Each structure stands twice: as structure tokens, then as C-alpha cells.
Amino acid sequence: MMKFPRAFLSHGHVDKNIVREVARDLGRAAVIYDEFEFQTGDEFRDAITKGIDRSDVFILFASRAALGRDWVKFEIELASEALIKKALSKVTTYIVDQELTHADLPEWMRVTLIRKETQPGLIATDIRRIISQRLRERIPTYFVGRRAEIEQSLEIISSFTDPNFRPPLIVYGLKGIGRRSLVQAVARDNLSFASTLLINLRAGDLLPETSIRVAEAISPGGVSDLTAFLKQQEQKPQADLVSEITSLLRQACQAGTLPVFVDDGALATENGVMRPEFDALYNAIASDIDTDAMIVSSRRLYGSVENPRPSVRVPELDHSSTQNLLRIAGRDIGLVFDRAALSAIATYARGYPPAVRFILDEARLRGIPQVVADQRALVNFSAEQFLRHLKENSSLTPSMQTILQLLSSFSPLPLQVIVAYCARTPLDASDDLNFLLDLAFILPAGMHYRISEPIRDAAYRAFGGLRVDSKKVSELLEAYLASEPDDDSRLDLGQTIFRANLFAGSQTNSRFAIGFAADLIDVATRSYHDQDYDLAIKYGSSALDARPDNVDVRRYVAQALIRKEQYDEAEEHISALLRLGELKEAYYVRGFAARRKREYPEAIDAYKKSLANGRRGVAIHRELASCFFELGNLPAAEEHILQAEQQSLQNRYVVDLRCTIALRLGDLPAAERALEVLERVDSSGFAEHRRSTFEQANGNPDDALRFARIADQKIANPPFEVLANLANCEIEAGGSESALATLGRIQKRFGGTNHDAQVGLRCKYEIRFGEVEAAEGLWSRLRDTSAPVHRGLRLSILNRKQAQNGLTDEEDAERTQLIEYQSAAELERSTRLLGSMMSQSE
């Protein structure tokens, strides 16, 4: 395992003031410095030896006084030996004594990097650059099987025969597939650019935000007040902004750097047509003879008919290229595959480089034969599955999980913030980061760290939601930027503070926080997925004030309103989607609303319109299957489940729906088969919830309650169906007090939503523990008394009244009618599963 890049600071006592300032500037996590590392009473010689052993870079602060000290001589001698053994990667000397010359240094050091510098801030900046470079070097990059894409790129670029019009090439494909590697290869090997400059654009960014991102990428810290600059840019005409951005890009090209826009939903509308302002910027770049650029996107982008956008798709690797990637990358970590194993594993990787990475790590940890033999795991190899495996086998320590959870919410972050948040010592933190870096779960981003794209969402699911203290993140970043105001990533960190404060509900004024519309969109989207629908509505509405045509955030706001049963307000957003021409999204949301209201024919009609207008994916077929099942149309339900499974065989929502339907039908063997799959693909805690409902259907109330409590503990913000099932299990198991407490939790958290489910549970509670008159009063408040579960409740009320005082003729006739409509056993089973039969929804 490669050592974590830390710098050993060798110096004499006379230079302590300079070195202390440099060390404090860099922070404990980046350096090994005597005041940070060496404890009173340590054997000094052993401490120095251990310090250099744990270092990757040796830094000498050279002065005549320092070179005359025995301890410094000892450190230089150890560094020489370590360099020969390749235990050190780099040696740099800073001459801090004006009278010292190169000739005064040890002979072997004269051929290493030597700088004359006495300013602590400049020395710290230079050391930070050295460590950053080492971080980049430690993550191996492999570029195989892309000859056809390179040739296609060059063919397109060479077709630009007009020297006054060279449009930026668009490279598109899945995240992690190798888009940026392709761009870097073309820029370096064929366009003579020494490096590339990545400029990330997020959904909601327009030209003002783009101008700031470009300015900060080219000259970090060049803008003193980012918030004021953003307001200034927002007042400028589009033409001025286009001119300014193009001028900055020209500067980068003249310095031998190719600007590359990495688009995450900013450049184009939902149908892939570039927004007018970015279309103008694109044409300006194309028309500037001194400016080049490329675009990386997840989808193909379109311009006007008169001005098509040249594009290259980066597909999954073919089988032989996947084998080659496995062979080369495996060799570098000591793995040798025989032909059969290589072919088998390449098949399961499906040409997706991140899957190759996870398979190699699995093979390194468990052995190649074990991975090849585990056919079931390889069929649907994913980051989430690998994370879950590492967690279950204790390869990921709790502190490593905390790091992944932190970076899944906020990336990138400085090392000092990660160390402080996790409350780790620098040494322990470096061990954790080493492991995660070796797995490529986290990646260096300058002097900071970010989570890799395939891991971001997987970490959320694998760890049962992200429990991150946003207020603590904000406070740590504030303290960090107060001591590092010139950090190269201060724009990204300022946006992180802004988002963290929103999540924390903090009104703290920060001199470093800066918020873009993209940040509001990000917070609203994540709040929806975290089931904080009030927050999603609040910040989503603010985002729509700034970006009214953003389809994704409008859909999330509408769905959040629907979950709060604010249907009229949601319909206003659906109408807005229709006015924007986003018919597939508008009808999908309308179908979602109808399904939540149990208006299944209307939901099916809306979902079919969404399909007809181009909506694709697993979700809509799952929704249709659910609606058809509720109407008793089992063949249609099965048809749409199969279509969903064809697109994603082990999608946890589809598997859960299969299990739910089987339980509702009383087909326990089919339910158990689906449940076994769900337990493999979903470790979020929902599998335990579904296991609880299975045990309840199987007549095991104690086991049902045990699994319900596990689900409640594992899921960060348990959704309604999980808490409803817990309350039901507590009632079934005879837990009067605990059931009442859970019903109180449900009412406090969900208010008047899910009306019938809440009323039904309280009715069941009164039947079991309270007064039959109270149960009958609650039953009369149900909006849909025809549902089988509510018929079952009515039968339970009548049975209890019959046992206590007997029934009237009218009630006896009603009881007979209920049993004729559906057998007493079936009604009893429905009642036993009250609140438990809602399928998992996104």
C-alpha cells in the first residue's frame, strides 16, 4: 500500500518560527512536524525514524545553523537512505538563509529541487502543490480500448476546415465510462495541450455562474468578493458575459491548457437542446481563432439545425478491451488471471470501467477463485453491492464509513476538515484515507478529497441514508477558510458552507458562504430523497424563483407537495410543466398524484400519456404495475413488472413490489423468493421492513416486531410505511404502550397525510386495547371503507360487539355480508397486515 503523501519538515531550532507557521498553514494531516508529532518522553531518534518512515516527501529548511545540528544531519542521512530505497518520492530544499548557497548543501541534495524562499505562506503553497501532485500520481489511470473514439474525435476536429470556426467537440457517455480520459488523451497527444482545465457546471448554472467558475479555475483567489462579483455579473448583458468568458478561456489556451466544460445539467434543456445563452457562448468559442475548448456531458447535446454540434459517444468497452483493462490494472495490484477467469469476470463487468475497479478490489480482498465462483454476486455487480460486502466483512471501519458518508454529502473537502469531523488523529485518518484511496472510493481534488461518482449514491443506499452533521461541517469549513482564505477551492467550499447551512436550518451569516441557484436545486433534490418534503418544497420553490424552467426541481417540488397531500398546489406545478412542453414529466407527476389518491384508472391514463410522450425507465412500469394490481388486473400488472425487470432485473423497488403483491395474494413462497433477492440488493433497512411484513403474514408476530424495530433503527428517516408497520407489529404483539408511542411519532411527523392508514391503525389499537365504541367512531372516519383491510377492521369490530353484547339484526346482516364478500380468513389476514402492504417508492 502506498504511503499517504505527508511532508516531513526537517529544520533547526533557529528557523522554528518560519517552520511553525508553514506547519500550521498546512495542517497536521499534511505534515510531520515535531511540535505536532513527537510526544514528550519519546526517544527522539526513534521518533525521527518513524516520522520519515511515514512520510512521502522530505522538506529541508536549510540554513547554516540547521546544517550544523546533529539531528538535522541525522534526518538528512535517513532521507538519503529512504530515497535510494524509494521509500521517499520527493526531496525539496528551501534555503531560508540568504548567506547559504547550493554548494553548502550535501552533494546528493544538490540535484534535487532547491528553492530560495523565506516567506512561510509561499513555502506552504509550494508544499501544498507538491503533495497535491503526489496525490494525483497515486491514483493509476488506464486508457485502453478507445482507439476508435480517438480516431473519430480527430476526424471530426480535422473536418473543421474554416480556421475562423472551430466548434468545441462534445464527448458524451455514462459517468465513469472514460469521457474525461478520452478528452485528456486527445488534448495531450493530438492537440499539443500540456494539460486540461476542468470547469464543472451544475444544473441551474447560467452565464453569471459560469463566468465565476471559469475565473476561479484559471486564477484561484483572483476575485476578492465572490458574492458581490456574482451580483455584478448578473446585471451584465449576455453579450458582455460571453465576451468575458471567451477572453478567460483564451488565456488558458495561450498558457497551453485546454478548457473542458464538464456538464451536469446546465448546458441544455431536458430534450438536449442547448440553452440560448450557452448556445451563444458555444458559437463565440467556435468563432475565436485563439480559443479552443471541449465539453464532457452525460448525453448528446443539440444546437440549431444550421449549426449542428459535433459529438463523440464514449460507449462501454468491448469484451477484449475489458479483458485488457482487467489484465493491466490487475497486474499493478498483484493479480494474475487465467484465461477462463479473465473472460468470465470481463463478461460481468459489462464494459463499465467502475465495475472493473470494484471487481478487482473484490478479487484482491477475497481471491480470484472466490469472485469467479460467486456467480450470483457478479450478475448485478455494483458499487452498492461492493460497499455492502466490505461493510459486512468489517473491511470498512466505522470511521471509513463516516468519511464516505461525509464526502457523499459534501465534496470536495479539505483534509483538515475530514480529520476534525471524524475526530481522528492525523495518523489514524491517513490510514483510513489510504485504504479508501487504494480502492478509488475517494479521489484527490487538488489538496482536497472528493468521493468518486459511482460511490456517491451507492454510499447513501449501502449505509441506510446519510447521517451527516451539516452544522458541524459548516463550522469546520468556516474555521478552515478563516485560516486559509486563499484556498484554491474557496468557491466550491463557499458553496458547500451555503448548502450545509441550508440543511442545518442555520441563519448564521458567513463571510465565506456563496450560493448559486444550483445549490438550491441540489438541496431541494436531496431533501426530497431524504424524505424531508417540507425542506424540498421550501428550497425547491426558491430555486424555481431563480430558474422557473428547471424541470427536475419542479417535478420534485410537485411530488413533495403530493406526498404532503397538497394536491391543488401540486397541480399548479403540473400545469407549469405542460406550459414548458414537458409532457412526459407533467403526466408522470399527474399519475403519481392520482395513485396517491387511490384513483387508479386516472393514474393509469396519466402514466400511459407519459409513456406516449417519451417517458422511459423502470419507475413508470413499476407504477403502472402497482395500479393494475390494485384494480385486480393481474395480467397487466405482470406485463409491466416484466418490462421493469427487463430494464433492471434486481431493482430494489421492483423486487419489493413483487414481494408486496405476493404477500397481498397470500403467496408466501413467491414472497419469500422475492424477499431473498431484496435482502441481497438492498441493505438500507427496507429489506428488514419487508421481512417483518413477511413474518407477520406467516403468523410470527414476535419475529415481525423484531425485524420492524431493526428497520426503524437502520433507516435514517423511516418513511411512513416503515413506522406504520412498526405500530401494527406492536399492536399484534400486544405492546399497548409502545404502539401508542409509535402512533404518536407517526402523527407528529406526518400530520394529516396518509389519513386512512393512520385512522385504521388507531381503530385497530382501540379494537385490541380500548373501547369498541371508540373503534367504531374511528372506522366511520375512514374515507374508503371498501378496502379489504378496512372491511377486515369492520368485521373485527362486529366480532367484538357480538362477544360483548350481541349484534342487532342490521349488524348481524352486515357481518354475514362481509364474510360472503371475502372469507373471514382473508379479512383477518388483511387486518393482520394493516399498514404493512405499501410497496417501497422512490
Q: Quick check: 138 pLDDT over 80?
A: no
Q: Quick check: 78 pLDDT over 80?
A: yes
Determine the 3-state secondary structure of 161 from DSSP: coil
Cell of residue 326, nine digits: 482487467
Q: How far, CA to CA in Å, does 800 sit from each of 9, 408, 770, 776, 815?
A: 81, 53, 11, 11, 12
| Average pLDDT estimate for 717-732 | 91
Q: Quick check: 259 pLDDT over 80?
A: yes
Cell of residue 226, nine digits: 465572490
- Quickly tell me which residue has 491548457 as its cell: 257
β-bridge partners, 169? 294
pLDDT at 233: 95
For residue 39, count other CB atoms closer than 10 A to its CB.
Answer: 6
Q: Quick check: 311 pLDDT over 90?
A: yes
Give percent of the chain with pLDDT exceeding 70.
90
Cell of residue 211, nine digits: 463566468
Q: Quick check: 380 pLDDT over 60?
A: no
| Average pLDDT estimate for 391-407 | 81
Lowest mean pLDDT among 40-49, 223-232, 566-575: 40-49
| Average pLDDT estimate for 817-837 | 70
Q: In 235-298, where does DSSP find H-type helix?
A: 238-254, 276-287
| Average pLDDT estimate for 411-421 | 88
pLDDT band at 1; cut points 50, 70, 90? very low
Q: Quick check: 340 pLDDT over 50?
A: yes
CA distance 147 to 179: 13
Q: 330-339, 376-385, 803-812: which has the highest mean pLDDT?
A: 803-812
- Choice between 632 and 488, residue whose per-residue pLDDT is larger: 632
Query: Long-range contact list for 621-629, CB < 8 A, 24+ apart?
Result: 621/647, 622/651, 622/653, 622/654, 622/657, 623/591, 623/592, 623/595, 625/657, 626/595, 626/657, 626/839, 627/595, 627/600, 627/603, 628/600, 628/604, 629/661, 629/664
Q: Quick check: 837 pLDDT over 60?
A: no
pLDDT at 424: 75
pLDDT tens, 500-519?
A: 999 888 766 788 999 999 99
211's enclosing H/E stretch is: helix 207-218
- Quickly tell me which residue has 379494537 as its cell: 767
Q: Quick check: 840 pLDDT over 60?
A: no
3-class secondary structure per residue, 745-761: HHHHHHCCCCHHHHHHH
Amino acid at 54: R
Strands in 175-310 per DSSP E: 195-202, 257-264, 294-297
- Choice between 124 and 197, residue whose per-residue pLDDT is larger: 197
Q: Quick check: 37 pLDDT over 90?
A: no
Give percent of the chain with pLDDT exceeding 90.
43
pLDDT at 416: 82
Q: Quick check: 194 pLDDT over 50?
A: yes
| Nearby residues of 215 by Cβ (< 8 Å), 6 or more positions away | 222, 223, 248
Average pLDDT in the chain: 86
| Average pLDDT estimate for 183-192 | 87
CA distance 364 to 384: 18
Helices then strands (H, E): number in the chain? 43, 13
Q: Quick check: 42 pLDDT over 60?
A: no
Q: Quick check: 241 pLDDT over 70?
A: yes
| Nearby residues of 688 by Cβ (< 8 Å), 6 or more positions away | 707, 708, 710, 711, 714
Amino acid at 673: R
Q: 141-150, 221-230, 247-256, 341-350: which has the highest mean pLDDT?
A: 247-256
pLDDT at 392: 66
pLDDT tens, 282-301?
A: 999 999 999 999 999 988 89
pLDDT at 462: 66
pLDDT at 677: 86
CA distance 595 to 631: 11
CA distance 494 to 229: 14
CA distance 590 to 64: 78
CA distance 510 to 478: 8
pLDDT band at 41; cut points 50, 70, 90? very low
CA distance 742 to 762: 11
Q: Quick check: 835 pLDDT over 60?
A: no
Pairing, β 257-264 against β 294-297: parallel
466-504 core/surface letters (b: 16 or more CB in 10 A; e: else): bebebeebbbbbbebbeebeebbbbbbbbbbbbbbbbbb
CA distance 490 to 480: 10
Cell of residue 790, nine digits: 378496512
CA distance 753 to 118: 66
pLDDT at 165: 86
Lowest mean pLDDT among 407-421, 481-495, 730-744: 481-495
Q: 312-321, 368-377, 584-593, 812-821: which has the highest mean pLDDT?
A: 584-593
For residue 13, count other CB atoms closer than 10 A to its CB.
Answer: 11
Determine the 3-state secondary structure of 551 from DSSP: helix
CA distance 331 to 539: 49
Degrees to nearest 5, angle at CA 184 with 179 and 186 = 95
Q: Quick check: 389 pLDDT over 80?
A: no
pLDDT at 384: 64
